[in-house]
Each structure stands twice: as structure tokens, then as C-alpha cells.
Amino acid sequence: MALPQNLTICFSKRALRDIERNIAQPQPEQGGALLGPIGQPLISHLIPDPAARTTGASYFPSDQLTSKVQEMERYHNLEFKGIIHSHPGSLDRLSGPDEEALAEGLRINPHMDYFIAPIVTRKGFFSGALGEHELDLGQTKLSCYMGYNRGSRIEISPVPVQTVRAAMPDRPEPTTTLAPSAPASHSPSFAFSRFEQHLKQAVKHLNLMEDPRFFPLVQDGVDLRGSTVQVEGGLELLFMAGGGYPVAAPVLLATLEDGNTEQLQMPWSLEVPAAERLTRAMKDLLSGSGPYRKGYGVILGKSALTDNPERAAIAGWSGRFVAEDPAVIQAQVREGLFARSQGLLSQHIRQKRVLIAGAGSVGSYMAEQLVRQGVEQITLIDPDGVELANLNRSSYDLADVGRTKVDALACRLLNINPGVEITRSPLDLFDHDPETLASWIEAADLVIGTTDQPKAQQALNRYAHGLGTTALYVGLYDGAQGGEVLLVIPEKTPCYACAAATRQGFQEVSSSVDYGTGRVSGEMALVADIHHVASGAVKLALALLLPPEAEANLKAFVEPLLESGQTFLTFSMVPNYWFYPQLLGQVPGQFAYQSVCLTPEKSDTCPVCGAPEHRIDPRSIPLKAPAVTDLRAVLAEAS
């Protein structure tokens, strides 16, 4: 091997293409691992690392990257060569932390002669010619550095680079010594019949669509046995086995639906018994990390949105083989969702879980807006199905009619962000097992009550307050002429039951809300009015999800309400509704919409938030009273 000082590092066209797509295009800092054939100064593969932790100045590889690298090394005869990452601005050198990370990379990989660490930056308008250690990537450039051990010191320097066409030069000599084979196996026809037998087994084992067809082939004057296998998802595999089978792997060409054909390296291990070798190789090839993998929800003709079949079934996505890791496109989707809210929100809300009880006009709208803003963990509870009459004011469309609301809404949310994790329950709140409901509410960072039953809102209040989970209760009344959003933080604000009692104190409105909040499901109401109140609730929800350490201006939306105790937001969508004329009658320029924040009064005897001796454990109140027939049965048995 050349001394590290005289090295030129070669990058394959394929590796550069992947670097351009995954490292150069997205925002800094992006990174990934570089791999190439063992013992050669060639970079042939990039493994992107969308799960990495990044800050403005540094990139920290994720644990997932390490396991992917090990997988590639094992199955593709490649070795890890180093880490590439991008820099914001024009810093086309290693930063201090980068140099430390490189030295650490060499220390923990003592078998490596050198460690490659290229930096990708945007090309400045006035930047001069590229250096010997740099490559042009269109809008960006790659500047290559390496570290190596020189005596007891670690030397770091730029290293010359060039592009090569070959994706994969000859493999190094295998280290395994093969025993001389039995005479019968010298005959190609014996190899061919074993290949046919093994491929049929593999196709059966992997549940592929049809039996393989076999045919003779001649390549470079050598007799081969060919076979094509169709794989569900638009992948066609062409195998060519020679007389060396099963010691030598068959040559494999893969053709995708778009007509692109590529020669694939079979993950071929002589440690696997000969009869299972082909099955195992195909299994590894068609699952896991690629080079092709089953993906669902293809966008832009190439990338898949997820590799999770359950999610794909909910979202209505069909499967296909794709060349890119869904994690890459998911990271890009996420970046897009946060691109227009910088400074207002922060990515902290991705880790927050929101439970929404009631997926009607308010709940479906709120769920959709929260996911568009970046929330990635949602629990949905609603027993109803989607009907045509729901289409004028909820998130559903014609294709959803007949589905449960929780399934239809989950589909909607996944088509906005394929990375959202959704728990669905198509049950009435009162039909839940109390322990299950309690565990969901406890796991949530925020509970949103948008059911159309006052009883259900009261039950949610008991659970959320008892379990210490912050909650919002959204209600509309009188055909959405009036509306309310109540914020409850256990032990800080009065609870929903207390606020509802405060509301009853307003004589002017009590008759129209006697039936309780939220009873808008069957009422005549405009979507504009419903969404007016729901939008206020969305904004409040997002503000509540931001942790103290988040640098996000939206926090200022909720802080004054909490400081002044005005946690009961009321809205009027028509002029002169409710108590608004008494309060605002003398103020010029008033019409609809109007909004006033009230201060709910806490009752000392409240069973939810009152003095300790008055409180009742929510789980001690049965969610559902026993049915009359059950009672009769018990009585009959007793008599």
C-alpha cells in the first residue's frame, strides 16, 4: 500500500452522486459514513446519517450509522474509510471539534491506516480554482482531509482526490482456502442443477410471485445458466450462475420499474451451508438496508416515504423497490415542515405527544395543524365513522367515507409527515379499559378534549388532572356563534369542572350552553367559525408544548395568560353575542369576531382540583355504568 503521505483518494461516480444528493443538497450540517473496497484508496459507497445530532458547528454520527456501517462491511466486502459532513458558510477546512473527532476515529479504529474526513461547502461567488484536494459537486465542493498515525502523533492534512468511473474494482483475494472439490462438481451441469434447485427453494421460501424460468446463456465464451425472477414491487432479478456455483455467487442484475438496471453484489458467505446460501443472500438483499429495499409511498418517482408496511397500509401506499433509504426523505420532509416557522417554534415539539379525544370538525383540524407544525406523536380517540356530512368542516375527503375517523385522520397525517407515530382507538371514551386510558393520558404531554359530549369532557378532566397532564378543552355552542378554549394545568389553574361552573354564572348564555360544550356535531355551523376557535386552540397547544429551554417566540402567547390566571378563552363569532355587549358595548369599532379571556374560579370542594379531602381518584369512578341487563342478571342470580 502507498504511504499515506503519497495517497490519492478516488471517489466513484456513484459515491459522488450520493454525496451530492444527501450531503450537499440538504441544509448543513449533514453527514454520513464513507466505505470502499478493502485495502484500496477508493470511496465507493456513502451511508447517509439523517438521524445524526448536529449543531451549527459540529456533527455527531448516530448509533444507527454504526450498525449500518457494520452491516455493509459484513455483507458487501467493504471497509469503513471515514466520515464526511457539510459545513454552513464557506468553512472548507476541518474545525477544531472536527479534528478532535478525526483523531478519536483513528484511536477507536486502530486497524485503519488512515481516516478520511471530507468537508462539503457551498462554493462562494469569488472562490478561486479548486485545490488538488477538492472536487466540484455543482453548487458545492468537496474538500478532502485525512488523518494518520505518524509515530505516536496523529498527522492531519489535505489529501489529493480524483473521480473514477468504476463503482467497484476487483475484490481482494479471498482469505478462505477451499478444499479440492469432489469430481462430480467439476461438471457445469451439476452446478446448474444445484443452482436451479436452490433458486426454486429461495423463491418458495421468500414467497415471491412465480416460479423462476431457467435458460442457457453464454457470456465471454463461458456457458452459464440464467434465470429471471419477478419480485412484487416492480423489481426483476436476472441471475447468471457459472460452473463455480455454489462456491462462486451467481452474477445478479436488478432492473427497477423505471428501467434502470444495475449489477448487484450478492452477499455471499461460504460460512452458510451451500443449500441455504442463495436463499440467505436473497433475503439479505431484499430486506434491510439495500442496495434496494422495499419502500412504500413513492414520491418524486424514486424515494420511498416509509419502510413500515403497517404505516403504509393506513396511509394507502403501495410497495415498490427503491434505491434510497426512507430515512433520508423523512428527514427532508421534517426540514420542510419546520422551514417556515424558525424562531416561532422549535424542533422540541417533535418529541411531544398529543392525545386528541374527538376527531370531528375541531379535533381533525387541530390534529392536522399540529402535524403540519411538526408534532410527530399523536394519540387519536373517536368511535365514529366518516360520513358525507362531515366533509364540509373536517379534514376528511370522499375516499375516507365509511372508514373510522381515527383511520382516516391517521391516513391524512401520514400523508403530511410519513414519520408521525400514531396510536388509534376507534372506541367511545367510556368503552376504554380505565388503565389503558390512564396510561395514554399519562404518556401524553398534552390532552385535547374536543368530544361533543360534556360527560366525556368531564371524564377527560378527571383523568388528565389526576395524572398531572396539561389539557385543553375546546367547545362551541349555538351553531358556533360562541366558543371557548379552556387551559388546565394541574395544580396551577382551576380545572375544567370549575371553569364550566364559572360559565354557568353568565345568565345571558347559560340557557344556550346548558347542553354543554362542543355540541356542534349535528348543528348548523360554518367551518370558518369552527376553525376560528380551533385555530386559537392550536396556537395555545403549540405554545404549551414548547419547553422552557426552547428559543421560540410563540411561548409569549401563553405566558401572560398563565401569569394573570386568565386561562378561559372565549370567542364570539357574531356581533352582540353572550356577555360581549355588556363588556365591549361602549368600545368603538367592535363587531364580530371578539375574544375575551376570563379567570375561572376554583371551588375548594371540587372533586377534581379542590382540597385534598374532597378529591376522588378518577379510576375509582367507573368509566361505564353496568348495563341494565347485567344488573338484572346479577339480581336474578341473587334471588
- Name the site residues for Zn ion (rule: CB under 5 A): 95, 98, 495, 497-498, 606, 608-609
Closest distance between Zn ion and the C-beta of residue 59, in Å?
Answer: 6
Nearer to Zn ion, 474 or 495 (CB): 495
Nearer to Zn ion, 561 or 608 (CB): 608
Nearer to Zn ion, 120 or 429 (CB): 120
Report whether 118 contacts 98 (CB < 8 A).
no
Closest distance between Zn ion and the C-beta of residue 495, in Å?
Answer: 3
Closest distance between Zn ion and the C-beta of residue 603, in Å?
Answer: 6
Closest distance between Zn ion and the C-beta of residue 371, in Å?
Answer: 31
Closest distance between Zn ion and the C-beta of residue 607, in Å?
Answer: 8
For residue 321, give the nearest of 252, 249, 241, 260 by alpha carbon: 260
Closest distance between Zn ion and the C-beta of residue 497, in Å?
Answer: 5
For residue 269, give the nearest of 174, 362, 151 by alpha carbon: 174
Closest distance between Zn ion and the C-beta of residue 86, in Å?
Answer: 8
Q: What are phi and psi of 200, to 5 degrees?
A: -60, -45
Cell readout for 187 is 461438471
Q: Which residue type, as a one-letter code, is found at position 155?
A: E
Cell 419480485 -> residue: 231
Cβ neighbors of 43 (< 8 A, separation 6 or more) are: 9, 10, 11, 12, 15, 34, 35, 36, 81, 116
Cross-strand pairs, 205: none
Q: What is the DSSP string of 500-511?
A: HHHHHT-HHHHH
Closest distance between Zn ion and the C-beta of residue 460, in Å?
Answer: 13
Nearer to Zn ion, 146 or 497 (CB): 497
Nearer to Zn ion, 498 or 552 (CB): 498
Nearer to Zn ion, 375 or 608 (CB): 608
Closest distance between Zn ion and the C-beta of residue 118, in Å?
Answer: 11
Nearer to Zn ion, 181 or 504 (CB): 504
Cell readout for 33 is 459514513
Nearer to Zn ion, 47 or 498 (CB): 498
Q: Which residue type, as a one-letter code, is found at position 512?
A: S
Phi-psi category of 589—alpha, beta or left, where left has phi over 0 and alpha has psi -120 to 50? Answer: left
Closest distance between Zn ion and the C-beta of residue 457, in Å?
Answer: 13
Nearer to Zn ion, 502 or 590 (CB): 502
636-to-221, 245, 363, 625, 629 alpha-carbon distances in Å: 90, 77, 44, 18, 10
- CB pairs under 8 A, 24+ apart, for 65-74? 65/32, 65/33, 68/33, 68/289, 69/33, 69/35, 71/288, 71/289, 72/35, 72/45, 72/47, 72/289, 73/35, 74/267
Nearer to Zn ion, 406 or 495 (CB): 495
Closest distance between Zn ion and the C-beta of residue 11, in Å?
Answer: 19
Determine the angle formed by the axes of helices 405-414 and 361-373, rounding to 10 degrees: 20
Cell readout for 376 is 410527530
Closest distance between Zn ion and the C-beta of residue 472, in Å?
Answer: 16
Q: Which residue type, as a one-letter code, is found at position 277?
A: R
Q: What CA–CA distance (Å, rounded) separates 456 from 445?
A: 19
Nearer to Zn ion, 56 or 588 (CB): 56
Cross-strand pairs, 213: 228
Which residue's Cβ has the minimum distance to Zn ion?
Answer: 606
Closest distance between Zn ion and the C-beta of residue 28, in Å?
Answer: 9
Q: What CA–CA distance (Å, rounded) separates 599 from 607?
A: 20
Question: Going along 256-343, which residue ranges are E strands?
Answer: 261-264, 293-299, 303-306, 319-322
Report whether 99 contacts 106 (CB < 8 A).
no
Burial class (CB in 10 A: 0-12, 13-18, 19+), 396: buried
Q: What CA–CA distance (Å, rounded) separates 156 from 250?
A: 42
